[in-house]
Amino acid sequence: GAVVSQHPSRVICKSGTSVKIECRSLDFQATTMFWYRQFPKQSLMLMATSNEGSKATYEQGVEKDKFLINHASLTLSTLTVTSAHPEDSSFYICSARGLDSNSYEQYFGPGTRLTVT
Amino acid sequence: DAKTTQPPSMDCAEGRAANLPCNHSTISGNEYVYWYRQIHSQGPQYIIHGLKNNETNEMASLIITEDRKSSTLILPHATLRDTAVYYCIVRADNNNDMRFGAGTRLTVKP
């Protein structure tokens, strides 16, 4: 089956610094990638949708200048949390939908746990 | 606005069938029913999906009522590793978004 990886799996950073999270589709080309955030004991919340080569579409309430998304190739999307604060500490999960895969499946990465101190 | 309703938690004995219900009374004709699960601190895992017919794969069976207003995910022989949060999602096939509700926390007990 299709595999999506994320790097790093966990990261700790200091308040005010920026953190980049990578999402890669390993064995398929992803025209669309999605970024989710999950706080403890809560469900996944969609943050943004990115299409290769174009600007991401952010969900209401998600600051696009704080959460920078780049989808520069069909196998890589990055999420950069700028000027991170402790309230940004969360589990960030990406998912990808392929070029020619069956339209129903969306493949999820293993997640990145961000802790801002 | 929630498109699906699921019980917050369920228990199941190991080796028995786990039947997880989902209500989606406002489902549209072009919307599919998807099931994903999330084991603690991992990304969601696709289980199964269907439109109106019952579906079965190596992981589970999906039973959709004739009026499509509800469905049941069946894990035929639950194991301890099936302990997870199970999400029922409705989505039109041409809609990119996969939006998660609260899900059902299934605990399989020995």
Task: Report the distance separating Cα A31 and Cα B38, nearest Å.
Answer: 24
Which token pair is A17? 């610094």
* Per-residue pLDDT at B95 exceeds 70: no
Rounded-to-integer distance, Cα B73 and Cα B7, Å:
13
pLDDT of residue B104 exceeding 60: yes
Contact in structure between B12 and B78 (CB atoms under 8 Å): yes
Of all residues in chain A, the percent with pLDDT exceeding 90 is: 74
Instruction: Choose the closest CB to A43 out of B43, B46, B100.
Output: B100
For the segment A51-87, what is each residue's pLDDT rounded down to a tens digit?
Answer: 888 889 999 999 999 999 998 888 999 999 999 999 9
Give the Cβ contact number of residue B109 at 10 Å: 11
pLDDT at A1 > cutoff 70: no
Asked if the Cβ–Cβ distance from B93 to A93 is below 8 Å, we say no
- Does residue B94 belong to the interface with chain A, where contact is any CB pair within 8 Å? yes
In sequence order, the 6+-apart residues with CB closer than 8 A to the CB of B42 are: A110, A111
Query: Chain-wide mean pLDDT for chain B?
Result: 93
Q: Assign B92 a pLDDT band (cuts: 50, 70, 90).
A: confident
Q: Residue A89 has which token pair?
A: 């500490």
How far lies B37's CA from each of A86, A110, B72, B102, B109, in Å? 28, 13, 14, 11, 17
Which pLDDT score, from 0 to 100, does residue A99 have?
Answer: 63
> What pLDDT shows up at residue B98?
84
Alpha carbon B105 to its chain's center: 11
| Residues of chain B found within 8 Å of residue A32, distances taken between Cβ atoms | 96
Cα B8 to Cα A71: distance, rounded to the nearest angstrom: 35
Identify any residues that bridge with A6 across adjacent strands, giving them in sequence order. A23
- Tokens 């999960």, residue? A93
Q: Collapsing DSSP states into helix, strand and coil, what is residue B82?
A: helix
Q: Is B8 on the interface with A (CB under 8 A)?
A: no
Which position has the higher pLDDT, B71 or B28? B71
End-to-end CA distance of chain B: 37
Number of residues written out for chain A: 117
